[in-house]
Amino acid sequence: MATAILIGLNHELREQVRRVLAPHDVEILLTKDLAQALHQANLRSQVLLICHETQIPEARKLLALEIERTSILFIGSSGMGRANAAVAVPHSGYLAVPFSDDELVAAIDVLEPELRARPAQRIQETLELEITPLIVDDARARALIDWGLRHWTEEVAWARAHAHAEAHALCLSRIGHFSESDARRLFELFNSDHANGRPRVNRFSPAFVGSTANMMVENLEAFNRWSERLWKVADDQQALAAALTALWRSTELPGAGHSYPTVLLHVRDMQRYSPMMTGLLHGYRRLTGQRIRLSDGPAYLKYAVTVASIRDRFDIPDHAIDQVLSEVARAPEQLGGEMPRSGRFSSRAGAAPSEGGEPPSETPVATPEPSPEEAVELHLDLSLHLPRRCLVRLHGELEWPEQGKRLPDPVLLRAIREGEVSDDRALGRQYFEALFADDALRRRYDAARAQAQDSGACFRLVLHMHGDSNGEGCTIA
């Protein structure tokens, strides 16, 4: 299988590439960071790189370093060539942007005979899925898990099992061909639960409801494509890790976050895969002391293996693991003693006193905050124009909008500088309206915020400045 990396192409060209590559066994990867994309594509040795002319210098430099590749085909607006071993991309023809369908098919034909004639040497990435043995103070862990199961009843078990079976059947019959009503029914089944004596539809809320659900069904083609890929990808660790990482690094399925792909995998095989989202991660860390890197396929698989081992060791009922993790995250701080460190269960609760005879400490441990590297980022290009107007586009897009939005009134700016703090929010609203006047940009903003909320990470808006003598080339985060 080959990977096509698209960087710096406008929407029309991206759609052209998707259409032409659809019949071929080629994974499409959209990116703004070529180095990161090449690293991500390491699981496949056949790479088709399609980029805009502005990325050509960096591309040639990076491709020259890809010494373990068996084949990299390079298409740009000033050249087309092949990179082999340590040789830089040669000038062996020209293919201008926009390019034709026939030229793209010809590019694929260069790769495919090689795929058939000589199996590519896969670049193996060792997925660190060796799980630290669960060295547990059973009394401590049992106390936390019993707390997590205190509201577990036969009615809850039946409601979740029934919804799981129906969701599994729906996926078997409709995966890859969901209508909007199918997708919304799937979300409803994901969230089906039972509490306080009656049925509920809030198991994973706010996931799968409101704006997050609307954003996912807005592009049914992408929703179906990614759903089918996750449902049918082999249980091979590398293939599944690559699929998850590709989804989380793309912008094709806003609203999915970590909830949709991991719950879909849970419905596919509940013994092997577990849901992963904010509250569950807090409970997971309280039990294990391990922090999981977000938007990373191998890290999710490590999480899933660890959760399965906890479930089996403590005989947690089917369909109850997410309730346990969610409740453990909210358990009283003193329950179960200290949080484990270094990924190992260690507790003073129920342990023997120290040699000095001092009692165990019951100092509360705060819930961990996401580290800065876990931030969800939205990158925009910002160009300032007189009189007081700005043009905004997604970072890496080639075309600016024709009209800009007016920036906040200078009178309001003076009021802020002079200490009229009551106008602070009004100023923020005006800047927000200027940046996100375009509906498509507003949807990207909502999707990024939803992903941050879902994953428990902070949200960072990054502005790349253009056309300003004082700020050209600067980045504001």
pLDDT tens sequence across 280-310: 988 898 888 888 888 888 889 989 988 998 9
Mean pLDDT of 425-449: 75
- Res 461 pLDDT > 60: yes
- Res 80 pLDDT > 50: no
Q: For residues 100 and 4, which has the higher predicted lDDT (pLDDT)?
A: 4
pLDDT at 418: 53
| pLDDT tens, position by position, 17-64 | 777 777 666 777 776 666 666 655 544 446 677 766 566 666 656 655
pLDDT at 134: 46
Mean pLDDT of 235-249: 85
Contact 71, 115 (CB under 8 A): no
Q: For residues 372 and 267, which has the higher predicted lDDT (pLDDT)?
A: 267
| pLDDT tens, position by position, 347-357 | 322 333 333 33
Q: Where are the domains of the chain?
A: 2-117, 138-330, 373-476
- Res 131 pLDDT > 60: no
Q: Checking DSSP bridges between strand 2-7 and strand 46-51, what pairing results, if any? A: parallel
pLDDT at 353: 31
CATH superfamily of 2-117: Response regulator (3.40.50.2300)
Contact 101, 20 (CB under 8 A): yes
pLDDT at 85: 26
Contact 466, 381 (CB under 8 A): yes
